[in-house]
Amino acid sequence: MGEAKTLPAAGGGEAVGFGDAVLTIKGLVVKYNTFRGELTALGGVDLNVRRSRIIAIVGESGCGKSTLGLSIIRLLPVPPARVAGGEIHFAGKNLVELPESQMTRLRGTGLSMIFQEPLSSLDPVYTVGDQLAETIRVRDERVGKPSYGPFRVAPAPEESHRTASRLLGARLPRPRASRKYPDEAIKALREVQISDPELVAAKYPHELSGGMAQRVMIATALLEKPSILIADEPTSALDVTTQAQVLELMRELRDEIGASVLFITHDLAVAAQIADEVVVMYAGEIVEHAEAGQLFSNPMHPYTEGLLQSFPRKFKDEEKLKAIPGDVPDLRFPPSGCKFHPRCTYAFDRCRVELPLAKEVSPGHRVACFLRQ
């Protein structure tokens, strides 16, 4: 019979608090049908998101981070995915039950999402300016406001048009001698530190670098003014300088329009730079949630502890990095009891048969581990 070892004691830190939530998720269960059987991608997730907070969602690949983001904005591939239980409350509505027509209205104005690969989210046959203008038109139409103007004149993208037509093997609408884009679109491009916004507005997506395309996606989010922005690994394809600029833009989104950002990342260094709170996911469950400072200085769950030990923080020879043994489980055949037990150095008998529920161990610090209960 295994004995329970002990982790460092729980301690201090600022409280997270769970009142004042703009988004509340209760017992969310998402399943996928695969050729080799059904798997539970989210196994009963509970989460409160407060206004003007950046919440980093961390964990290894396959832990359910992206599934959680896609579930909130209802962009899961259905089928094979399906929401098998739970509720997502936002703007007085349960998004799980909302008709698609109402959900479409919420996307953009209330909820927005940006992805790791921004070029796949931009339409290759329209210029950046056209796409931003369309965002403004749709946004204003939703609130019954006549849109557009005043306009800016951008240079004619004759060469861009030829290249786009050749690359896509299609005849694109020929640009006029000059293109007009709403002033607001040009302003949004300037706000994301694009120094020549008129010129960029006239470009097609294939002419943008990865960093520039991600900035255009953030400009779109600025125009939509969402209450919640879900950013799925938005900086992983970017160099460190561009990454720092994109993180700064996220902070501005929080501070200037009061948006809450769900920042999905596997990179703890990025989470440490940007997050107000950190949510740690493992095998489709939230195993720890706390204020960022509290979680990084005093991790309470053995999985969080393992993630931090495998993350290079100090450059000393004696500081050896420790990998977490084993792999994330195949969610078609999850382990019994605590899903982390096959990899946990603290596991004891109870862990193998019983699932630990998340409990508040100090104000605002929730942990799902028997060592803390």
The piece of 46-54, 95-103, 128-136, 333-341 that touches ligand SF4 (CB under 6 A) is 333-341
Number of neighbouring beta carbons within 10 Å of residue 310? 13
Q: CB of 324: closest distance to ligand SF4 in angstroms?
A: 11
Q: CB of 362: closest distance to ligand SF4 in angstroms?
A: 17
**307 lies in the binding site for ligand SF4 (CB under 6 A):** no
Q: 72 with 232: CB under 8 angstroms? A: no
- As a whole number of angstroms, the distance between CA 359 and CA 373 comes to 7
CA-nearest of 343, 341, 338 to 322 is 343
Q: Please report how many Cα atoms fall inside a 13 Å half-sphere around the Cα of residue 99, on the Cβ side.
A: 2
Give every CB contact of residue 220 below 8 A, 6+ residues apart in sequence. Answer: 112, 114, 131, 132, 135, 188
**286 lies in the binding site for ligand SF4 (CB under 6 A):** no
Identity of the residue, 54 or 367, whose beta carbon is nearer to ligand SF4 in the bound complex? 367
Question: Which residue among 250, 292, 347, 358 contacts ligand SF4 (CB under 6 A)?
Answer: 347
Q: 373 with 359: CB under 8 angstroms? A: yes
**328 lies in the binding site for ligand SF4 (CB under 6 A):** no
**370 lies in the binding site for ligand SF4 (CB under 6 A):** yes
**344 lies in the binding site for ligand SF4 (CB under 6 A):** yes
Strand partners, 56: 263, 278
Strands (E), 35-161: 37-50, 54-58, 81-90, 93-94, 111-114, 151-154
Identity of the residue, 114 or 280, whose beta carbon is nearer to ligand SF4 in the bound complex? 280
The piece of 123-131, 199-207, 267-275, 364-372 that touches ligand SF4 (CB under 6 A) is 364-372
The pair of structure tokens assigned to 36 is: 């080799």
Q: Is 63 exposed, middle or buried (0-12, 13-18, 19+ CB in 10 A)?
A: buried
Q: CB of 358: closest distance to ligand SF4 in angstroms?
A: 11
Identity of the residue, 224 or 288, whose beta carbon is nearer to ligand SF4 in the bound complex? 288
- As a whole number of angstroms, the distance between CA 179 and CA 136 comes to 16
Q: CB of 306: closest distance to ligand SF4 in angstroms?
A: 10
The piece of 158-166, 228-236, 317-325, 341-349 that touches ligand SF4 (CB under 6 A) is 341-349
The piece of 72-80, 89-97, 219-227, 363-371 that touches ligand SF4 (CB under 6 A) is 363-371
Q: Using CB under 6 A as the criterion, which residues of the chain lie in contact with ligand SF4 when the complex forms?
A: 302, 338, 340-341, 344, 346-347, 351, 356, 369-371
